[in-house]
Amino acid sequence: MRTPFCRLPALPAFLLALVFALGASPARAQAEPDTPAPAATPAQILQQSSDQLDAVKKALADAQKNKATSPSPPLADLRTSTLQVQDQARQLVASLAPQMTALQAQLSVLGPAPAKGAPPEAPEVAAQRRQQDKAQAALNAQIVQAKSLGLDAQQLVVQITGLRDDAFQARLTARTNTPLGPVFWSDQARALPNDMLRVQRLADRWSEAWSDAWEPPNRQPLLLCFAAALLLLVAGRWSLQRLWQFVAARWLPQGHLRRSAMAAVMALSTTLVIGVAAQLVHAGIAWGETLDADLDTMATSAVRAIYFAALMAGLGSALLSAKRASWRLLPLSNAAAGRLRRFPWLIGGAALLTGLTERVIRSIGSSLPATVFLHALLALLITGLVALVLLQLHRARHEQGAADDEQAPRPWWSGVLRLGATLGVGLCWLAVCLGYIALAFFIAAQMLWTGLVAASLYLLLQLARDLAEALLASRTHAVPRAKAAHDLPPETQEQVITVLAGLVRVALVLAALALVLAPFYTGPGELVQRTLQLFGKLQLGQLPISVGTIFQAILVFVVGLLLLRMLKRWLAERLLPTTSMEAGLRESIVTLLGYLGSVLVFGLALVALNVNLQSIAWIASALSVGIGFGLQAVVQNFISGLILLVERPVKVGDWVSLSSEIEGDIRRINVRATEIQLWDRSTVIVPNSQLITQNVRNVTHGSAQGRVRILLPMPLDTDAARARQLIVDALKAHPSTLGTPAPMVQLDNINASSMTFSIVSYVRSPRDVAAVKSDILFDILRRLREAQLPLSTPQSMVVRTLGPLGEDSPAVPSQTS
């Protein structure tokens, strides 16, 4: 049974590139060929793939016959080899498809062969046709053979996967003698001498390898690697963390992002320092090829186990942060964190011991009793540590409850993890007592892996959340820079960041579930292949859906919208303002370009998604009746909006009047409706169809001029000619008054008490009428006062005072105006 260490991929080799470069052999460099090997032909690839698939079938038949041997490792190798054949067949079909398309195009140029009785074609054309037909037949045969190989490999992969599942389930349900009985221990006593002999042989091989590594040619690289590993262990982690604190203090904003990023750096620094130190030790021992294949494989597995254990210890220590409560991510008290501060390293040590024990068991070929005993011991060790963690948490919470009257509520996932850990510990101990050692070891190892995945998921979720909060915070410079670069409103930026953060969190949760729920014996490469195959088989009707096409379509859509936005911005701000077009026409051009470009980008995204546009046209025609009835008003407004943008009876900036209540300036013409701003700065949303089907008064249509008209009453005894001249002078003195048409002052009416002057002048825009009228009235009043021409006739009033006997006193005349 394989442990969780098989899931960890090897870390990048560049971390040790300098060390390995020091010992690179010149002879090896000279042995490299100067010219690359010629590429294999499709026929050679088909032959090699067929031979490889036949070898897999033969090995699978031999493995099924020999039931005594352990089937898992050979079955895993056979599955990998079969997947390689399947990938080669798929790539070959993809590479031959363009050649087939080119041949078909050449045959279409030649046209169909002449029918019987028709005049024969030219000899050159007939020879070319025969050559093209022969090449097409050969290419078609290769494509059919490659597809057949891919299908055969796919079926074989399914068969091997089923055999692996059956073998794995058989192991889990296998029962041995219980450790509580004497038979179990008697088997251990009988097998112990042979097992000790195997261990002694392995120790002798390592002793011999160490002696070879200590020889003078290899001693200096060995000491250098050991010194570098010791230096890393002593100062590497401290240096990385101090460097990160400097970078965070200088570049990261204040807030939770520093805390979560520091936890991630602590975990990674612990993993890298310990793992790279282990790789340096391995490189020093194996410098002069002192390790044989088996010992080198064991050393590589040990390095992988050390990485796993270091990652587990680093994650646990970073999440607990027992010494600095302000850096702690887990919702734990100081007392609980202090109680648990040693357990990450203890559990990591148990994980390392598990990985090393598994590798030694495979290398020496230990007996079944010894394997069962070691598995039982490791299962009890791991679950015992988990039980101690649960006990310490319970005690810490009990002490906190005794000290505080009100306890802080625990998150829901905390209870789920505790319940799962408790059930796992109980089931593991029960399985050991009943003799199901393989099941107990599987539960214990799975608890290690699940704990590592859960801790990594928690840290990454916190990091994603804190990063989103930092981007949305007003004190960061990310949002203003994005706004300056892309001209996006703050609300849109917040929505984009929130959606992206949510997508990242969902992707992290799905990845964690896939890692936990995947078959226990799957490695990282196989897990990725299974995921790609799962999503590659999705199909919506006749449309195949794969992860690659979805991401390609999203990329095409996003890049297309960005390019369209840049083009619209360039037209609106750079090109069109340099032309003689008015603002409304420029706005219409940019809006129409946006509509057409959006449709084009959407179509390109559908093409990238392998959607047949002809089928979409058929669906649209089938739904046209329903759209006509259900969305009649929407379609009518959309078509009306296009008419407004093309015909332009009204445009952006026009002063329009639809009724006594709706009169104002057009601010924007959208797809469905038009925005009209009234004089009180409120906005009315008018459907586009009303601007087409109803009577609309466009005050500024066609660059209309504004007319200023004033009715000015004056007394009958006023000098009309002099008043007229004063008014004409006032009109001509205003700078907004146009000379053509010339201003006019006419007598509009005469009655018993007054005469009325009709004053008319013209300005460049109707929007200037109110301001110009006010200015002219002020100027006319000033001129009339200076000329002492009143605007009204003084009224006479006779006041009579009655005497005591009712006699009238002399009348006193008075004048009022």
pLDDT at 67 over 60: no
Is the bond into 741 cis (omega within 30 degrees of 0)?
A: yes
Pairing of strands 706-715, 744-750: unpaired
What pLDDT was estimated at residue 382? Answer: 93
Q: Can you tell me the distance from the alpha carbon of 311 to that of 317, in angstroms, rounded to the nearest whole number?
A: 10
Predicted local distance difference test score (pLDDT) of residue 169: 65
Find the farthest-apart pair of alpha carbons in the chain and give their distance in angstroms, rounded: 159
Q: Show the tokens assigned to 471.
A: 């981007």
Q: With H, G, I as helix, E, B as strand and everything else as coil, classify residue 103.
A: helix
Q: What is the mean pLDDT of residues 358-365?
A: 86
- Does the structure show a pLDDT above 90 at 427? yes
Task: Report, as an integer, the average pLDDT of 8-30.
Answer: 38
The pLDDT score that the predictor gives to residue 37 is: 53
Q: Could you tell me if residue 64 is left (phi over 0), alpha (psi between -120 and 50 degrees) or otherwise beta? A: alpha
CA distances from 24 to 16, 287, 617 (A): 12, 10, 63
726 vs 252, residue with greater confidence? 726
Q: What is the mean pLDDT of residues 268-276?
A: 91
Cβ–Cβ under 8 Å, residues 745 and 731: yes
What's the chain's average pLDDT? 79
Under the banding of pLDDT at 50, 70 and 90, the label for residue 7 is: very low
Q: What is the pLDDT of residues 524-575, one digit of tens each?
A: 555 555 555 555 555 655 566 666 777 788 888 888 988 998 888 888 888 8
Pairwise CA distance, residues 528 & 474, whole Å: 40
Tens of pLDDT along 200-231?
988 988 898 888 888 888 888 888 989 999 99
For the segment 618-633, the average pLDDT, to the nearest whole number, is: 63
pLDDT of residue 769: 85
The yes-or-no verdict on residue 25 having pLDDT over 60 is no
pLDDT of residue 19: 38
Residue closest to 710 by CA, chosen among 653, 784, 654, 657: 784
309: pLDDT strictly greater than 80: yes
* Tally of CB atoms within 10 A around 668: 14
Helices (H) and strands (E) in the chain, counts: 26, 12
Q: Residue 86 above 50 pLDDT? A: yes
Task: Count the neighbouring beta carbons within 10 Å of the beta carbon of residue 317.
Answer: 22
The highest-confidence range among 361-370, 476-485, 728-737, by mean pLDDT, is 728-737
